[in-house]
Structure formats: structure tokens, C-alpha cells
Amino acid sequence: MSIKDIGEFGFIDRISRGCLIRPDSIVKAIGDDAAAFQTGADRLTLVTTDLLVERVHFLREATSGFNLGYKALAVNLSDIAAMGGIAREAFVSIAIPEECSLKYLDDLYNGMKRLAAEFDVNILGGDTTSSKTDLIINVAVTGTVKESEILLRSTAQVGDIIFSTGYLGDSRAGLHLILNNTPAESAALKELFNAHILPKPFLREGLFLAACRDVHAAIDVSDGLSSDLGHIAKESRVGARLDAHRIPVSPHLHTFCSRFGFDPVDFALAGGEDYTLLCTIGRDSADKVARTYLSKFNQSLYPIGEITDTGRIELVEDNDKVRVITPTGWNHFKDWNDEYRSL
């Protein structure tokens, strides 16, 4: 048996047994967007880390140093956002192949520093080593959150309305353009390209949602709507029903799909790397939270379905047919060799 047989999540389940030696101050161990532990009265420290490997997560020839650095930090900030936290400190470890230019590495740090400055994050340390051929970059970020406000994957309740903080599927379309060397010659294609390359961490929005008492659960969309909603369902022991026509599809993705013959809902369900937040909100407060969100951020909080007790993820299609969907988002090793993909 190899890792390909059990996949990324089977592997994480397998190794997570026996990891927790001192459970006393741990609020969340392996199994959420970040770990959380007590470090002060009603204050938790959050820690998350993500690894980017050349040819697995990015193609160096197709990614500028700036964009790579930005994204390496952005994906970690997104995990802190999904816990409802404030990002604080970052640590950056990097394995550098000999032929990688200093200019590329300077650009990489400039990308990280730009985003770090925007979200008030210090880069406090890391590690540097050589690599035979591939550039490898690992970023770890700490954050803080009030214990009473932390957003978990495991606390969705039956009847909750499920929301996304932004469009879904754009990033996957951007990746398609990159893999096929399609020039981003129109404004629509450029938006898709940017959604993939420069994802926005929803930190301010996550903080707001965490402070709303009836926001029950959250996750960021790194693997794809079906897969990430599947994590909420599994951890909360619930099901979910999505309305296909309510899934937020950008006008750019519509343009892309009609030009290249794809279905936008497939991109939204299985795409991944959108880094929007999915959250579930108690039915009675959902409208009010969405209205306040709109007035505060001038952006919609999109309702896309509801939490059910079926244990399944279902999609109500436009003809009112209900289809059970399996998590088809990105899962390292199971999709091994299918296609290059970024994170």
C-alpha cells in the first residue's frame, strides 16, 4: 500500500493518532485550518503552515517571484481568517536550487513583504537551505483569536445557512489559462488569472464573522467547494444541500466557460484555491449578518445552501433534481499525476 491508496486526508487521519501528548491547553489539534491553544485568558494562539513545492504547486517559469511570495503568505493568512483570527507573525523556510537568481528571490520576499505590510504581519524568522533542483517554500503563520469567538469546521448546526464570501471557480479557470499558455488578453481572462495568482485573504471579513454570535462554522476554500464543505460536514457530523443557481459565479467565469465549453458550477465545486471563506450561520440571524456584512465591506455574503442532517452533500440542480456529490476537489496523491496544480 502506498500514499496514493489513502490520499492526503487518509494520510493525515492515519498520522494524527498519538500526536497529542499534552491535551490540557489545546483547543484544536490536527483537523482544522489552524491549530489553536490557550496562551492567555480568553485568548488563543493560532498556528498554520503551508508548503509550496516547485512543479507540484507552481511552475517557476510561469510564476513571478513576487506572485509566488505573495501567494505563499496569502494561503496561510487565509487559514487564520477561516479560524476568525488576527494574523500576527510569519516564519519563512526556503530550499533554493543553485541556479535560482537572486532577483527572483528578492522579488519573492517583496511579494511576501507587501502582503505582510497590508495585514500587519511580522516576518520573524525561518530557515534557508539548498535544494538539488526545485524551489521549495514553507510559510508558517501565527495568529490570535478570542476563545469565545473561534470559528471551527466542527460546529455547523442543522438548519444553518451556508455562505461564501466571494466568487467560486475563478482560480481554477485561471490555472487552466496558465497550464494552456492562454494569454490573458481580455479583462475577463486577466481577472481569472489574478484570482489564481493573487488570492485575497479574507482576514477582516473572518474577524467580523467570528464576532457575530450566530456564525457557527467556517473553513477557507483551498481544495474546492465540494471538498471543503465536505470537511465541515464530516467534522460537524451533518450534511449539506447546495443550490446550483445560488453558487456565486463571476461574469468572468461565465465568459470563460462559454468560450471554452465548460460548466461554471463544475469549476466552483471542484476547482479550489478560491480562498473565499465558507461559513454557516443560524437561520434566524443569517439575513441580518449578510446585510451587515454588505454594508461593512461593500461586498455580498452569498447564501449557497443549507446544513442538513443527511450526512451527504447534495446539489439541487436547475431542474430541481437533487444530485449527491462526492468531494471532487483537489486531494494530493489521489489525483497524483493528473495535472499540475497549485496548492
Identity of the residue, 30 or 124, whose beta carbon is nearer to ligand ADP in the bound complex: 30
The interface region with ligand ADP, picked from 28-36, 120-128, 256-264, 302-310 by CB under 6 A, is 28-36
Tell me the per-residue interface mask from 53 to 92 with ligand ADP, x by CB under 6 A, - otherwise.
Answer: --------------------------x-------------
174 and 260 Cβ atoms separated by less than 8 Å: no
For 22, what's the count of Cα atoms within 13 Å in the CB-facing half-sphere?
3
Asked whether the CA dihedral 339, 220, 178, 251 is positive or negative, the reply is: positive
Q: Does 322 bind ligand ADP (CB under 6 A)?
A: no
Q: Does 50 bind ligand ADP (CB under 6 A)?
A: yes
Nearest CA to 202 out of 26, 33, 5, 27 is that of 33
Q: Does 33 bind Mg ion (CB under 5 A)?
A: yes
Tell me the per-residue interface mask from 211 to 240 with Mg ion, x by CB under 5 A, - otherwise.
Answer: ---------x-x------------------
Distance CA 267, CA 253 (A): 9
Q: Does 79 bind Mg ion (CB under 5 A)?
A: yes
Pairing of strands 277-281, 215-220: antiparallel
Q: Does 30 bind ligand ADP (CB under 6 A)?
A: yes
Q: Does 20 bind ligand ADP (CB under 6 A)?
A: no
Q: Does 50 bind Mg ion (CB under 5 A)?
A: no
Smallest gap, in angstroms, from Cβ of residue 220 to Mg ion? 4
H or E stretch covering 324:
strand 322-325
Identity of the residue, 46 or 238, whose beta carbon is nearer to ligand ADP in the bound complex: 46
Smallest gap, in angstroms, from Cβ of residue 172 to ligand ADP? 15
Nearest CA to 285 out of 163, 146, 153 is that of 163
Q: How many Å is the Cα radius of gyration of the chain?
A: 19
Give the alpha-carbon dihedral of 205, 29, 147, 113, to 10 degrees.
-40
Q: Does 31 bind ligand ADP (CB under 6 A)?
A: yes
Q: Does 107 bind ligand ADP (CB under 6 A)?
A: no
Q: Can you give the binding site for Mg ion, defined by CB under 5 A?
A: 33, 79, 220, 222
